[in-house]
Structure 1
Amino acid sequence: MDWDKLRIFHSVAEKGSLTHAGDVLHLSQSAVSRQIRALEESLSVTLFHRHARGLILTEQGELLFDATQQMVKRLEATAARIRDSEDGVFGELRVTTTTGFGTLWLAPRLANLYKNYPSLKIDLMLEERVLDLPMREADVAIRMKEPSQADLIRRRLMNIRMRLYASPEYLAEHGTPSTMDEFGNHRLICQQAGAAQVAAGAELVNQLMTHAVASTLTVNNYFGVLQGVLNHLGIGVLPDYIIEDFPHLQRVMPDLESGEVPVFLAYPEELRHSKRVAAFRDFVTDEIFAFRRSRQTE
């Protein structure tokens, strides 16, 4: 198949319009239309349903669009590898991790990365959905479980646990519980039952909820839970890594905690030699070592 025609088809499928695709490709609408007709004739299929509001892919068009999407992603990956063969660390690096880890641990430390690589452009994507690294939805991921996708390089960074924390001001006013009966007189701040979270954290919350709790504040991410704790609203279920940046928070009922949660860094095999990925990997590893040392001195 003719690559120029496939490139034009891909743009039309993305934009849903001959005119909009032509604007992107710097071609006239008639030129785009001729190329699409020629591609349909060469394949002996109809690729688009045409109507007044635009174009919709046919079943055969969907199949071809899936193929061109994969081609585009592979070309982008190849271009990234070519750029990474140059000297220096610069350009865009797409990093994905959870909202909690990204806002509470990673983002506050990025100044150290930019200090060494001021031309680096980080696109930080914080969401609970697991992005597809081999399909280049992101370049690097930090995940709260071992990635299951094939063709990934993965490194275990550390283990974390979910624990109970409160502000000194809250405990001074309401007292520090030492038993579950006493805990029942306090407000529990935690993630919502339906929110995406690590299984160990959910299990700890479920364990707490089996007891009579006087009041609750539920939030859909750990950043919100932390804000509730910092504003003296109650006792929060939070990952233990927050204590490095908020050392004034006090741990409550230290015998009560979740199981270990592994934290993994992962990136596609094809980015093994990427200088940007290597710079980010080394930065995270150094920060983890510093974090571990701080915990050992507690």
Structure 2
Amino acid sequence: MIILAATPIGNLGDASPRLVAALEAAEVIAAEDTRTTQRLLSGLGVVNRPRMIALHDHNEKQKAGELAELAETTDVVVLSDAGMPTVSDPGFGVVAAAAERGVAVTVIPGPSAVITALAVSGLPTDRFTFEGFLPRKPAERRLTLRALAREPRTMVFFESPARLAASLADMAAALGADRRVAVCRELTKFYEEVRRGSAAELVAWAEGGVKGEICIVVEGAVAVQVDFPDAVTHVRELVAGGARLKDASTEVAKQTGHPSRELYQAALAPTPPIRDRTGP
């Protein structure tokens, strides 16, 4: 079978007894970075030295089928560098290939940066969405954030420390300077830090330079009653910003409750011309 195994996101003390036992018994490990996995085995006192297969973003398409086939006859433990495989990390392709071949897939649960950041953020946890990494290019990042401006659920992002200040500035512009944000840095590690404040306040802090692994937790938009014409206008604004009409209609439908098909058709219709009040 395929065994998805969550690994510590910082503190080795978070490794579960099941994880240690699985690593001790493993014959094959598919690892995001085999060097990181070797250090993990040493840090946990695991003496087993199984066969290591590199599995990362650049080779997963080629390796997924091979690993699924291998799992028909032996257990394959899939590890990311930290946290749960498949969550912004390699593993999804392997699970999909295993499911297609009828190979069993199981999970050894454990640490997750997404859930840890959400829990300590101080923002609502009853409904949330994980958005992964924001686009690197500024124009694409701003477009993504504008599309999320009316998302009512708490949002969790991963971000590079080098882009943190720029991303927070774009959040302030797209979501509102007063939108509540928590920046969670180096979770479970010695220098763990959680900074809470408005998007604008945290831009000023981040501009001073921030190091470490970063999660950003963002307050969802306050629910508002949006009438149909305003919803259509929002669809057109997203399209003007570069979104496809179908995608914009679907996004606004989720935010407002108006049917996406009706929004799509209304946005296609020409806007009425502005009548010249000085004419006949």
TM tier relative to shorter chain: under 0.3
TM-score normalised by structure 2 residue count: 0.28
The structure with the largest strand share of the pair is 1
TM-score normalised by structure 1 residue count: 0.26
Higher alpha-carbon Rg: 1
The structure with the largest helix share of the pair is 1
